[in-house]
Structure 1
């Protein structure tokens, strides 16, 4: 039996049969057996797993976070942003004289003109507008995810690690008040 080359899902076989009369000396038998590839089966398993996870996630309800926990996180976030703004202001006041001095040379003037030219380009303005629009669209999703995570933390982890985490945050705040004050 000899097999001709063909795609992997079809098996061709050619059988030589001895014949007593003067007919053709061989007879061709073709069988088309189709098998699924491993990649096709893996894709089907992946789709089934995704669907099962979607169903299981839709059946479970995420607990709502305590208002006290939400207020505490918002306060820490606001304080941290104030720290960053304060740090940026200090860095800008320190760097401004150095940048002014560098801008006096020929190379400094060329760099300054380049950045001023970038600000007037419509491509950069379009990118800024698109980025702002994306940020506005994503903000509600981020808030919803944040509340879900806080709810899961408050329900499952806070009873066990809440006090330890609070103590560590208080220690970190002391160091941040020294090196990166909010005001």
Structure 2
């Protein structure tokens, strides 16, 4: 393949493609300086495909997480939920008088009536039922995904970054205990 280009100020080029015999042994693929036959390239693609399939199949065997890791995760999750509930309680405690004052006004009464009207509509109740049923159906899938993620972490990442991650969590917990404690 030869290409002739005109000077850079003119955007125009002409390419010629020389085609030889179409037999398999004559066809070549040019990559930089090296020239390889199609059969060699197909063999390389086959080896790459086999290696990719082996990697994907090895990832299908997800190890079970250790019970100690599951307990640690569940403990951290429950502590996090306690922190969120405590924060919600504090915000509700501070905001309740403000919300009551707003509710006494004209606009606040209208907003309160709108909220009560929305809660009584059958469409909203149906959406709540669908959402709660969907959450019950998705729950086991989330648990399986969590177990798979913990297993993958325990197998592949924990030996390398487990100590550092534990150190980070301990430091974050110290700050959260000051500003967002789990106990009221």
TM > 0.5: yes
In the alignment, the residues of structure 2 paired with residue 136 and residue 169 of structure 1 have an alpha-carbon distance, to the nearest angstrom, of 30
Aligned twin of 1:178: 178
Aligned twin of 1:140: 140
Deviation at 1:116, TM superposition (A): 1.0
Aligned twin of 1:93: 93
Judged with a 3 Å threshold, the aligned counterparts in structure 2 of structure 1 residues 65 and 106 are, in CA distance, closer, same or farther, namely: same
Gaps of 5+ in 1: 1-48
After superposition, what is the alpha-carbon deviation per residue over 1:19-68, rounded to whole angstroms, capped at 9, x for unaligned? Answer: xxxxxxxxxxxxxxxxxxxxxxxxxxxxxx9xx97xx4488311111100
In the alignment, the residues of structure 2 paired with residue 84 and residue 151 of structure 1 have an alpha-carbon distance, to the nearest angstrom, of 27
Aligned twin of 1:83: 83
DSSP 3-state at the match of 1:161: helix
Aligned twin of 2:152: 152
Give matches, 1:1-183, under 5 Å: 56-57=56-57, 60-183=60-183
Larger deviation: 154-163 or 57-66? 57-66
In the alignment, the residues of structure 1 paired with residue 145 and residue 60 of structure 2 have an alpha-carbon distance, to the nearest angstrom, of 15
Deviation at 1:154, TM superposition (A): 0.3
The structure that has the greater radius of gyration is 1
TM-score (norm 2): 0.68
In the alignment, the residues of structure 1 paired with residue 108 and residue 62 of structure 2 have an alpha-carbon distance, to the nearest angstrom, of 56
Deviation at 1:87, TM superposition (A): 0.5
DSSP 3-state at the match of 2:62: coil
Judged with a 3 Å threshold, the aligned counterparts in structure 2 of structure 1 residues 59 and 72 are, in CA distance, closer, same or farther, namely: closer
In the alignment, the residues of structure 1 paired with residue 90 and residue 151 of structure 2 have an alpha-carbon distance, to the nearest angstrom, of 37
In the alignment, the residues of structure 1 paired with residue 161 and residue 145 of structure 2 have an alpha-carbon distance, to the nearest angstrom, of 21
TM-score (norm 1): 0.68
Gaps of 5+ in 2: 1-48
